[in-house]
Amino acid sequence: MDDLEQAILLASDSPAAAAASPSVRAEALAFCARARDESPPSSLLRLCLSGIASSPHAQVHFWCLQSLHDLLLRRRLVLPDDLALLRSSLLSLAVSSHAASPPFLRNKLAQLVALLVRLDYPHVYPSYFLDLLPPAPPQPGPTDMFARVLISLDDDLLSQEYPRSSEEAADAMRVKDSMRVQCVSQIASHWHTAAVTLRTADPAVAAVALDAARRCISWIDVGLVANDVFVPLLFDIAMSPASMPPLAAAAVGCLSAVATKRMDFRAKVGLLRSLLAAHQGLGSPDSGVKMAPLVTTYAAEALECHRRLGPTDADGAAALEMLEEVLPAVFAAAESGNDEDVDSGSVLEFLSGYVSIMKAPSEKQLAHLGRILDLVRVQMSFDPVYRGHLDVLDKIGKEEEDLMAEQRKDLIVLFRSICRVAPAAAQLFIRGLIMTALSSAEASVEDVEVALTLFFRLGEAVGEEEIRSGAGLLGELVPMLLSARFLCHTHRLVALVYLETVTRYMKFVQEHVQYVPHLLGVFLDNRGIHHQNAHVSRRAGYLFMRAVKSLKANLVPYLDTILQSLQDVLSQFTSMDWANKDTKFPSSEDGSQIFEAVGLLIGIEEVSPEKQAQCLTALLNPLCHQIESLVMDAKARGLEESLPRAISLQQIIVALNMVSKGFNERLVMVNRPAIGVMFKKTLDVVLQVLVSFPSVRPLRSKVISFLHRMIEILGISVLPCIPIALRQLLLDNEAKDMVEFLVLVNQIICKFKSSASAILEEVFPTIASHLSVILSQDAFSAGLASNTEEMRELQELQRTLYIFLHAMATHDLSTVLLTSSSRQYLETIMQLLLFTSCKHKDILLRKACVQIFVNLVKDWCSNSEDKVPGFRVFMIEKFATNCCLYSVLDKSFDLRDANSLVLFGEIVLAQKIMYERFGEEFIMNFVAKGLPEVHCPPDLAEQYYQKLKGNDIKAFRSFYQSLVEKIRPQGNGSLVFR
């Protein structure tokens, strides 16, 4: 034992260990491990009991107790004499335990005794609890030890708050049942005596005893605690100023456990009534502060009783009365700010439940709702300590903002519920907050922000029609909001929520146009676009653009005022020295929404043609001059030196693009063609950028985006510009570039149809050449390598290519494939389309490819002649067999899938078209060769022929589906693609 004791001390945190070398400590650890794992169980038992009895060191005692616990837990100790020795020794230690011994030793001893109880009680040793129960009057040491045993037993076995195995659940039931019969009443009497005797003499031990009681209340007879003796004592301890905080908290815990005791709801009402009678001041604010967990639990239980029994039931009505009696205490608890005692989540859950039962709130309930609204306001308010961080939105500010956003979710739900049951009360509350924020010089950033946030959320709770008409107090509140100027408006938080709230109530201004000037003031002065915070300014620009979209015609009378107010913002782009290397460029978002808003305003038909031309000239000309200057500068400096200027060009082109969003083709090309001429000249200038910066991809994307817009608004007049642009865009392309390019070409095809044939004939060979990387069925790997960014880009390009070919085939442009410069790619394209229509995993792409073939048959084949030699044979021998027959017989073709059924319908239609154009030549190959190869019986082949000749496409489709289902089991599930 001496050697083991030295080893334990060296392996622990003792002074001896601190002075030892790492190698000595490692040797000591190994020695202890051997003693624990290699000693015979009986020897280890006696060694540990000897160490506990003889050693003066707490570290040795703990090692011995831990080793005994492991020995017992792993069932290594099986001899009856050994178990009897362990039991008697531990019980003797527990009974003689002194309260001054280290808590970690008492906890470990309690854990060991609790494990013995689980294994032995009551069948082996029925008197555990009676032997451990301290005699009266209780002494601190034994009382503390007995409580710790009960606490350990609850943690390790009895509590239902933790997941338990079926074996543990059975053991717990056995222990509880035996205790109920044998000793629970004596234990409850002990708790009461210990609380009375030790509350002053040793309050810490009394607190531990009551904590043990709290844990047991859920499964013992509640009357053992909820009686005329115990409950008044608990209230007295909880409310007494002389009670130490841990003891008072333990008493409150016991009372809360009584209140949450599971039982019949009528019996629960009686129990709650008795608690209220035992302490008449339970609903007082003082009780709320001192007994926060109890009053919130009590209120939640009363609410549940009211819900279950109903408002018309006498007990249900009584439950509601008791609930409302304790509400002042609940509010006091919630408002106390004591996070340690008050579970804000539970309080919020209760308050939400309480509001949900209201139908037509009484005066008393309306007063309660006012308290709840104020509580919501307080809990939604930011802590002033973060004010500076939230203004600049640094890392700390961002974290606080995210945390508050999460915290507000449930509070907002509660607020909406109040708005639903008491809209007038909610609006009156908001009115008070806004008026206070406007009139008080002491209104803080946090006060104003939360007032505006609640006003914003009010707009979510009321209907659009109520906002439009200004129902209730909204007719007063919205004008007050529009003219508001808060002292703290410079703060980012206040400015942003103010703008969002104004936008929320935009429909009110649509109906009450006299407030349009006020609304414009919000966005155009230092509350919005001219706010000192750049983030606020950008957000204001976006929201102003939305306002313009909503109000449009109503803003025409104010066009000059708006443009004048925005002059400085617009001049960032129209007068900036972009060529100066020291110029600080705005970010990609700065000002762009402003240009869109101005474009939307100018593009309204109510604006006169002269005014429109004047305004557009003032916007477009300076921007175009900037582009020309930068392009000339690029030519003079060389490409590398000019790359920083490309960033400038991006901003300018974005601005031009945004302006164009206010215009449409009818206005530009039909009603006011002079505007079209202006945009056409602008496009000519922008396209110079592609020549000077052919390989700057972000800039190229901006030019393409602008070209998309010009195609939409300039229509056919833009066609002469397109070939130049397309030639430049085909230089030095990667997969992503080709996707952008093909999307543009698809727009051209869909917009101009056959009018674009000359353009397509010119660029198609280059497109086909660039896309040779994917013009084969094995261009994409099927393994893990397919999940790379590069491979995803290639797959996206492949998908876009099929859309491109589909657009050509369905817009009368298939002759482009037959030009002399394109024919060299025709065979490759046909093979790719065939493989995709049969095998591609994307069913929708397969459908598109089948549709392409159908259109090509219609365009290239007639009953008398074919435009493409060999195409008819290809369709009959390759497409019909592989796609129309083999692909649908393959086991991967799921006839229960909706998309697959759509593809199946296209395949059926393809057969009808081939029969109409190819006649008996198609029948001979498909019926005489194809169907026999897949073991189709002759009678079904004949039926196929008859159905195909018929005029009922639905009947043919139904028959062909049944034919596939019948012949698929004939070994046709894995046909080889030819």
pLDDT at 866: 86
Q: 489 near 522, Cβ under 8 Å? A: no
pLDDT at 345: 86
Please tell me the least confidently modeled range out of 577-591, 712-726, 877-891, 906-920: 577-591
pLDDT tens digit sequence for 319-355: 999 999 999 999 999 988 777 777 888 899 999 999 9
β-sheet bridge partners, residue 866: 861
Q: 253 near 210, Cβ under 8 Å? A: yes
Q: Find the mean pLDDT for residues 367-390.
A: 95
CB atoms within 10 A of CB 17: 16
pLDDT tens digit sequence for 123-138: 999 999 999 999 989 9
pLDDT > 50? residue 493: yes
pLDDT > 50? residue 973: no
pLDDT tens digit sequence for 686-718: 999 988 887 788 899 999 999 999 999 999 999
**Token couple for 849:** 């490819």
- More confidently predicted of 532 and 788: 532
C-alpha 361/C-alpha 574 separation (Å) is 60
- More confidently predicted of 601 and 794: 601
**Token couple for 949:** 């000749």
pLDDT at 781: 44
Q: Contacts for 26-29 with beta carbons within 8 Å, 24 or more apart?
A: none
Three-class DSSP labels, 810-872: HCCCHHHHHCCCCHHHHHHHHHHHHHHHHHCCCHHHHHHHHHHHHHHHHHHECCCCECCCCHH
* Whole-number Cα distances in Å, 348 to 300, 363, 410, 792, 967: 10, 22, 8, 48, 65
pLDDT at 783: 45
Q: Find the mean pLDDT for residues 803-817.
A: 95
Q: 206 near 195, Cβ under 8 Å? A: yes
C-alpha 293/C-alpha 810 separation (Å) is 72
pLDDT > 50? residue 578: no
C-alpha 937/C-alpha 596 separation (Å) is 67
Burial class (CB in 10 A: 0-12, 13-18, 19+), 46: middle
DSSP 532: S
pLDDT at 776: 52
- More confidently predicted of 319 and 951: 319
pLDDT at 638: 62
Give residue 80's identity as a one-letter amino acid code. P
C-alpha 725/C-alpha 691 separation (Å) is 9
Local confidence band at 777 (pLDDT 50, 70, 90 cut-offs):
very low
pLDDT tens digit sequence for 75-98: 888 889 999 999 999 999 999 888
Residue with tokens 């750049």: 534
**Token couple for 190:** 């002990």
pLDDT at 640: 58
**Dihedral angle over CA of 211, 213, 216, 219, nearest 10:** -140
pLDDT > 80? residue 617: yes
pLDDT > 80? residue 72: yes
**Token couple for 862:** 């007639």
pLDDT at 204: 95
Q: Find the mean pLDDT for residues 909-913.
A: 96
Local confidence band at 217 (pLDDT 50, 70, 90 cut-offs):
very high
Please tell me the least confidently modeled range out of 99-103, 283-287, 408-412, 914-918: 99-103
pLDDT at 153: 96
Q: 657 near 705, Cβ under 8 Å? A: yes
Which of 696, 771, 769 lies closest to 739 in space, CA to CA?
771
pLDDT > 70? residue 574: no
Burial class (CB in 10 A: 0-12, 13-18, 19+), 828: middle
Q: Find the mean pLDDT for residues 100-124.
A: 93
pLDDT tens digit sequence for 495-539: 999 999 999 999 999 999 999 999 999 999 999 999 999 999 999
Please tell me the least confidently modeled range out of 11-15, 168-172, 455-459, 467-471: 11-15
CB atoms within 10 A of CB 197: 19
User: What percentage of the chain exceeds 90 in pLDDT?
Assistant: 76
> What is the overall mean pLDDT for the chain?
90
**Token couple for 467:** 């906002």
Q: 702 near 636, Cβ under 8 Å? A: no
Q: Find the mean pLDDT for residues 971-976.
A: 54
Residue with tokens 């005022």: 561
Q: What is the domain partition of the chain in residue ranges?
A: 513-576+586-598, 608-719, 822-977
Q: What angle do CA 889, 891, 895 make, to 5 degrees?
A: 75
